[in-house]
Structure 1
Amino acid sequence: MSRVEGLEPKEVFRYFEEISNIPRKSGDTKRISDYLVDFAKEHKLDFIQEACGNVIIRKPATSGYEHIGTVMLQGHMDMVCEKNNNIDHNFDTDPIELVIKDDYIYANNTTLGADNGVALAFGLAILADNNIKHPRLEAVFTVDEETTMLGANELAVQNLDAMYMINLDTENEDELLLSCAGGAKSLLKLPIEYTMLHGNSLNAIIKVRGLKGGHSGMDADKNRGNANVIMGRVLYEINGRVNFEMISINGGAKNNAIPRECDTSIVINEKNKADLEDIVRIVENVVKKELNGIDDDFRLEIEYTDKHIDRVLSTISKQKIIDLLMIYSSGVTQMSLDIKGLVETSNNLGVIVTDEKNALVTFNCAIRSSIDSQVQYIIKKHEAIANLSGATIVIESIYPGWKYNKNSRLRKLFADTYRQMYDKDMKLEAIHAGLECGIISKKMPDLDIISFGPNMYDIHTPNEHLSISSTKRTYEYLLKGLENMINIEKY
């Protein structure tokens, strides 16, 4: 039996459930791409499946709308895959298990994938319905937005006729987005050395747990705890008071998600066990006070094992790791002076991985700013940190921001539509997150773009949930806006 039985809009949620049954983590989007192609074939719609996996589906204008410029409905296929540690879920093979709670759809202790499965569901429902009034449509579904922006970068815009673009990758129903941040990915790779461990010792695994995490852009201003940064503070305090050796450190799962968990495996002498526990409790209490009302479930744990350890990191390698954790800035670095409440620049130390085979510890950061020069400035700071620590650095996935268009007809029409439907003004916003709008607008500079979507919460975390009633309202708003496109030239 369908888990979305009885939900409205019926077709939107039917497609959302079908999409949720298809594993579609970033970098593994062939199955969802092929599903979209099969949909186009079934509905006898013109389509293109690009080599990277992007799918473009076209639908002719309804009668009376033939003279209106083509509208692109745009979203991405891939999803961030996060789960709670106690859950046995394989994102390579398992469907997302939908859970209905009151007005919300959750997943069963994993990310839901409403970011950006909602865009696909909206697009497919519109493409399948021949009773909706609209201009010529180009549904553009891209791959790997959450990691490298591959789909937007590879999109062959010569195959597109769109004059207008509606991006559906936004999480607040009453907000109409007008611009977004640009950014880059920074990968610092620190070479490490090992030394043999002699004598009896106690293996302890220090764990950061209970943090909310969240989207490293959208949630940057919420001051949530970063597990990797907190671990740096713990290790720094231990290092000054207890003799210990480090084996490994691993934290976070995605560079664009605020890390919720981090584990460090260390070795201590049995006689220092009480001192270790005292220091960890002291740091825990300090951080708890700092995160009071923000991350109230935060905690530090210590797990002792009888695992035999025969080698540990050298003292120099251990010290470099601790120093890097303390030096790296993570979170908001600058607020906008022009737009009240807008984060202008941030850095997220999202992932730390110890690669024992290749003797490396990798620090993976997501850099964001609405000012391109600030992105470059943080990149140069990371390069300087790499030079000081003897590491190498790789900068990947640089993407531009989406600039505000004060003459946007599409914005004015959809703002008026919202006012007509709800007798109030929609909030006009810029966001501190990287949308594909930036890359696509750079390729198609005359494209008139807006972005909106239904209410979603805690995206990129296992607590991600989607409002059912907001999804209905947002879909109705989208349909009414498309219908009102008959008047676009009046704007």
Structure 2
Amino acid sequence: MSQEVRKQKPQSLWNHFADLNAVPRPSKKEERVRAFMVDFGKSLNLEVMEDAIGNVIIRKPATSGMEDRKSIIMQSHLDMVHQKNNDTDFDFLTQGIEMLVDSDIIKANGTTLGADNGIGVAAIMAVLSSTDIAHPAIEALFTIDEETGMTGAKELDKNILTSSILLNLDTEEDDEIDIGCAGGVDVTATKTYDQKSLSDDYISKKITVKGLNGGHSGMDIIKGLGNANKMMTRLLDAMMRKVDIQLQSFQGGSLRNAIPREAAVVVSFHKSELETILKSYNSCKDAIHDEYKNLEKNLDITIQDTTNTKAISGSDTKHLVYALLGIHNGVYRMSPDINGLVETSNNLARVELKEGNLQIACLTRSSVDSSKVDLAMSITAVMKLANMDTKLSGDYPGWQPNANSVMLDIAKAKYTELFQHEPKVEACHAGLECGLLGERYPNLDMISFGPNIRGAHSPDEHVEIKSVQKFWKFLLELLKEIPKS
């Protein structure tokens, strides 16, 4: 499958992308891709380093005639989000991504593609391996664990880099230059419930919500897409208002930075209440389908018989459902300063109730730290009222725009010259690593850009070939414009 990808232009970039995608690279398990990157740098006889946390740095001297330019950092992250369709048989820990060329797009066969941030990594590799691309001295920084904690950026050695300019290649709109992003914090709740065996007077049903679009919990949160955990909670609430129900299990969502596409519960109730349960379920199901008919065309909600095992009590079920109803999901506040920018949001990313053990995982994002704390504490309060243990972790800062950025002025002028219109200068609601890198190196002049990537963090992820060509052209021309030291 990758052979068709390798034929696309620019071939050097696509060849490196295909090589990269052959290496399993889940967040927090980047050993293989780190070794791959170290071997790549050494094969070019370039200086290669790893810092204590596992980031890989490859240095390449300036090309002839560019020695008097400022040195630059080119940065992308090595890990990728792992999501697959429910009916796709795929092991992210052992298999390389199966890629397909479909007209002007490249996508994966039922899984995430890894264009986020693999295209950025491949572009840097193409520059490092080139013999005819003009560029200043480069420090290529490949960070780890961006998607589930930004650990690489957080723990980056403060003394390992020397450049004053950083080009981050992790933006997903090819007509944008980003100069700011949201920060985030993980909100987690846990609780252990007593379980009891169900009597023969009870029956159990498995309810499944699937077929949702999913997507990036930052960039796509403004779209109002369906959240499988929230939909499931509505179904449970509709039944609970009529009948005493007991939960056996709840499994919804996976990663904090992915809008949950699927959820499944096993719910139990007295057999005499079956008709009432089905009536409430169908009424709520129809309402959800009607509300999302134009957004979630593949939404599938089903109910089927299953076996009785053990369940938590009706009272505990109520408190859990009430808590899930109360947790805010989606946009919380739009920016009053930047038109169309989501300032603050929350993703109810994962709900797992298994054998009485509950975990709820959220990712709260904001470009304003005080607003991030406000929403995180509101969510925490709901969890505490349900007597859950709560924890805030993984806090990382936003990237505050620099109105005096020299690189922004250079990039805007070059983009306008190349494409005959001005780029959008944006702050995004995603969690770029620039905020953390700026904390480690306060004097960095940073911009972020990239090609059009759609459906990131979902199996619908794809990248536009022509957009990659545009991004590549912009990058090569921008390298020639790096100012003198």
Deviation at 1:375, TM superposition (A): 1.4
1:454 counterpart residue number: 451
Deviation at 1:191, TM superposition (A): 2.5
Deviation at 1:70, TM superposition (A): 1.4
CA–CA distance in 2 between the matches of 1:239 and 1:279? 9
CA contact (8 A) 2:184 2:395 kept: yes
1:348 counterpart residue number: 347
User: Structure 1 residue 34 and structure 2 residue 35: aligned?
Assistant: yes
CA–CA distance in 2 between the matches of 1:118 and 1:310? 47
Deviation at 1:82, TM superposition (A): 0.4
CA–CA distance in 2 between the matches of 1:44 and 1:468? 31
RMSD (Å), alpha carbons: 1.4
CA contact (8 A) 1:73 1:139 kept: yes
CA contact (8 A) 1:204 1:302 kept: yes
CA contact (8 A) 2:70 2:484 kept: no
CA–CA distance in 2 between the matches of 1:277 and 1:439? 50
SS at match of 1:64: coil
1:329 counterpart residue number: 328
CA contact (8 A) 1:257 1:350 kept: yes
Which residue, out of 375, 378, 394, partners 2:375?
Answer: 378
1:294 counterpart residue number: 295
CA–CA distance in 2 between the matches of 1:247 and 1:24? 34
CA contact (8 A) 2:187 2:380 kept: no
CA–CA distance in 1 between the matches of 2:245 and 2:239? 8
CA contact (8 A) 2:77 2:145 kept: yes
1:422 counterpart residue number: 419
SS at match of 2:5: coil
2:138 counterpart residue number: 137
CA–CA distance in 2 between the matches of 1:151 and 1:200? 54
Deviation at 1:200, TM superposition (A): 4.6
The number of residue pairs the alignment matches comes to 484
CA–CA distance in 2 between the matches of 1:148 and 1:47? 24
Deviation at 1:270, TM superposition (A): 4.1
Deviation at 1:210, TM superposition (A): 1.9
CA contact (8 A) 1:284 1:299 kept: no
CA–CA distance in 1 between the matches of 2:119 and 2:13? 8
1:171 counterpart residue number: 172
* Cα pair distance change 1:232/1:194, threshold 3 Å: same
1:217-242 per-position Cα deviation (integer Å, ceiling 9, x unaligned): 10111010111111111101101123
CA contact (8 A) 1:234 1:280 kept: yes
Deviation at 1:271, TM superposition (A): 4.4
Deviation at 1:488, TM superposition (A): 6.0
2:392 counterpart residue number: 395
2:410 counterpart residue number: 413
Letter in 2 for 1:315: G
SS at match of 1:214: coil
CA contact (8 A) 1:198 1:310 kept: no
2:10 counterpart residue number: 9
Letter in 2 for 1:362: Q
Deviation at 1:51, TM superposition (A): 3.1
CA–CA distance in 1 between the matches of 2:274 and 2:96? 43
SS at match of 1:109: coil
CA–CA distance in 1 between the matches of 2:325 and 2:311? 21
Counterparts of residues 70-469 of structure 1 (less than 5 Å): 70-305=71-306, 307=307, 309-356=308-355, 359-469=356-466
CA–CA distance in 1 between the matches of 2:108 and 2:321? 36
Equivalent pairs: percent with the same residue? 37
Deviation at 1:254, TM superposition (A): 0.6
CA–CA distance in 1 between the matches of 2:182 and 2:199? 51
Letter in 2 for 1:223: G
CA–CA distance in 1 between the matches of 2:484 and 2:173? 24
* Mean CA deviation greater in 382-391 or 133-142: 382-391
TM-score for the superposition, normalised by structure 2: 0.97
Letter in 1 for 2:257: N
CA contact (8 A) 1:413 1:488 kept: no
CA contact (8 A) 2:328 2:379 kept: no
CA contact (8 A) 1:281 1:300 kept: no
TM-score for the superposition, normalised by structure 1: 0.96
* Mean CA deviation greater in 241-250 or 466-475: 241-250
1:289-316 per-position Cα deviation (integer Å, ceiling 9, x unaligned): 22232112223111222x3x24211222
Letter in 2 for 1:476: K
CA–CA distance in 1 between the matches of 2:254 and 2:393? 17
Letter in 1 for 2:225: R
For structure 1, list consecutive stretches of 5 or more residues without a partner in the other structure: none
CA contact (8 A) 2:250 2:354 kept: no
SS at match of 1:215: coil
CA contact (8 A) 1:74 1:139 kept: yes
CA–CA distance in 2 between the matches of 1:274 and 1:94? 46
CA–CA distance in 2 between the matches of 1:37 and 1:123? 14
For structure 2, list consecutive stretches of 5 or more residues without a partner in the other structure: none
CA–CA distance in 2 between the matches of 1:484 and 1:315? 66
CA–CA distance in 2 between the matches of 1:411 and 1:58? 24
